[in-house]
A and B are shown apart, each in its own frame.
Chain A
Amino acid sequence: MIALEGIAVGVGSFALTDISLQVQTGQYGILMGKTGCGKTTLLEAICGLRPISAGRVLLAGRDVSGLKPAERNIGYVPQDKALFTTMNVRRHLAFSLRVRRAEAKLVEERVAEMADLLDIEPLLDRMPQGLSGGEAQRVALGRALASHPRIICLDEPLSAVDEATRDEMYDLLESLQKRTGVTVLHVTHSHSEARRLGDCVLRLEHGRVRQLEPAPTA
């Protein structure tokens, strides 16, 4: 489960205060909102990349508010994907395992598993500069999922892919979540993405998070 309890987070003069939200374990949560309303800031706060000045961040029932990003075990895919410029696709998939000093055999198995899951075996020796938008997105997802996190945060993952690829990515994201059982928080401003993917749809507006789907019971 992802739960925010009255958190406050600020960037320069921009600040969000008293934000609370919940996405149940194994659900696909969609966080909507206009550009500039603070969706990315909220994701960064969940991942530990931005300090919160009040409230608590609970992941899978554990209070992670004071923990470093590395200790939170969240797969994070930023909007620009931020693939590592000097590493090929294989090293992207192996990265989180190598950092954890996993055995070579496990690393190899996990790279194969991710490549199969995301259908990117032919790309393993390619550098990120040569990948299309959709391919880069798959690699970024694979890199985030390789250590089997229980939670992944996706920041507008489909904003840079064309229409044809978008449908393909919908199927991929859906099947990924079904197969891994991971809890997802997906930030977007697209209603069609929300309708297609969301088990639970939240909207960040005027500094408040409202639950749209499923409609909250009175």
Chain B
Amino acid sequence: MTSPVPPPALEVDGSFRPKSDLGFFAGLAILSGVYIVLIVLMLMADATYTTPGTLWAALDSPEIRYAIALSLLSCTFTTVLSLWLSVPIGYVMSRFEFRGKALLDAVLDIPIVLPPLVIGLSLLILFRFAPFRWVSNWVVYEIPSVVLAQLMVACAFAVRTMRTTFDQIPPRQEQVAMTLGCSRGQAFWYVTLPQAETGMLAAATLAWARSLGEFGPILIFSGSTRLRTEVLPTTVFLEMQAGNLRAALAVSMIMVIAALVALVVARVFGRRKSILAGGPI
């Protein structure tokens, strides 16, 4: 009688050593490092090419001061509008199932995938039709057109962010709130919205930063009239056209600083606990 042969042991002599993790971590470090170093180097290059003198000179120009003011105000206004639109749209897309939702989802992505110039051109064409035509004189090539051009793109990004935010908040708390006496609106206002504040902050930062850099649609839809519809990206473009690289760079640095300040403000606020939590309920 032969005894059954035991299966060969995998570790014959105990000499097995798992592969080193060094290669994996080195790969991670190199690949992430390349991009991060590029970002930092790019900003450093800008900084070394500008002197505080050219920066002050740029700030001294009334056209540039106007562009800074218009940029900051229009971006802020666009951000507020974007939040008003993106919160309800994000909520509807996250919470409700309905016929045509996939199509609506695709429509909401159009401003993200469309070339910016085309958005500007499309807005220009839109204002040739009633009822838009009736207000065209006060909008096209005027300040409202700057906000509208920024809004068309920035809001699409805010909508994405808000939808993800609401997707991550389980609907159960809202349901419980409804059994406790809340209408749908109250449940949203008292229970869901306070939880969405970090997402709202992210959406606002994104919308603001997108608006600050918006150029193509503004150039087409608002024009580049100095002291009227000139925003900071337009200034960079106009100064480059005039062969004035130093001024273009100085204005770029102003935008870099504004964007960094926005980022820091968003982070600082994001860490603070609950801004809305002290609500009425």
Contacts and interface: CB of A to CB of B under 8 A. Distances in A.
A49 B178 contact: yes
Interface in B195-224: 195
Given A87-B277, A95-B281, A98-B281, A82 B179 contact: no
Contact of B172 (A48, A78, A87, A94): A78
Contacts of A47: 175, 179
Nearest to B281: A98
B276 to A, nearest CB: 8
Interface string A188-210: 00000000000000000000000
Interface string B134-153: 00000000000000000000
A13 interface: no
B183 interface: yes
B274 interface: yes
Contacts of A144: 179-180
Q: Which of B172, B180, B182, B183 has the most CB of A within 10 A?
A: B180
Interface string A100-111: 100000000000
A76 B179 contact: yes
B257 interface: no
Contacts of A98: 280-281
A69 B179 contact: yes
Contacts of B181: 70, 96, 99-100, 147
A78 B182 contact: no
Interface residues of A, number: 29
A76 B177 CA distance: 9
- Describe A's contact surface by its main secondary structure: mixed
Contacts of B191: 84, 86
B183 A70 contact: yes
Contacts of A91: 281
A74 B180 CA distance: 8
Contacts of A87: 277, 281
Contacts of B182: 70, 99
Interface string A117-152: 000000000000000000000000001100100000
Q: Which of B175, B181, B274, B277 has the most CB of A within 10 A?
A: B181
Nearest to B178: A69
A75 interface: yes
A174 interface: no
Contacts of B173: 82-85
B175 A82 contact: yes
Contacts of B170: 80, 82
Q: Which of A68, A84, A96 has the most CB of B within 10 A?
A: A84
Nearest to B176: A82
B168 to A, nearest CB: 11
A49 B274 contact: no
B270 interface: no
Contacts of B195: 85-86
Contact of B180 (A49, A83, A99): A99
B54 interface: no
A87 B179 CA distance: 17
B49 to A, nearest CB: 47
Nearest to B184: A68
A147 B172 CA distance: 20
A78 B175 contact: yes
B178 A95 contact: no
A138 B16 CA distance: 53
Interface in B153-188: 170, 172-173, 175-183, 186
A99 B281 contact: yes
A143 B190 CA distance: 15
30 contacts: A47-B175, A49-B179, A70-B178, A70-B179, A70-B181, A72-B179, A76-B175, A78-B172, A78-B175, A82-B173, A82-B175, A82-B176, A84-B173, A85-B173, A86-B191, A86-B194, A86-B195, A86-B274, A86-B276, A87-B277, A91-B281, A95-B190, A96-B181, A98-B280, A98-B281, A99-B177, A99-B190, A144-B179, A144-B180, A147-B181
Interface of A: 44, 47-49, 68-70, 72, 74-76, 78, 80, 82-87, 91, 94-96, 98-100, 143-144, 147
Which 9 pairs show the lowest CB-CB distances between chains A and B?
Answer: A82-B172, A96-B180, A69-B178, A76-B179, A99-B181, A86-B194, A86-B277, A82-B173, A69-B179
Interface of B: 170, 172-173, 175-183, 186, 190-191, 194-195, 274, 276-277, 280-281
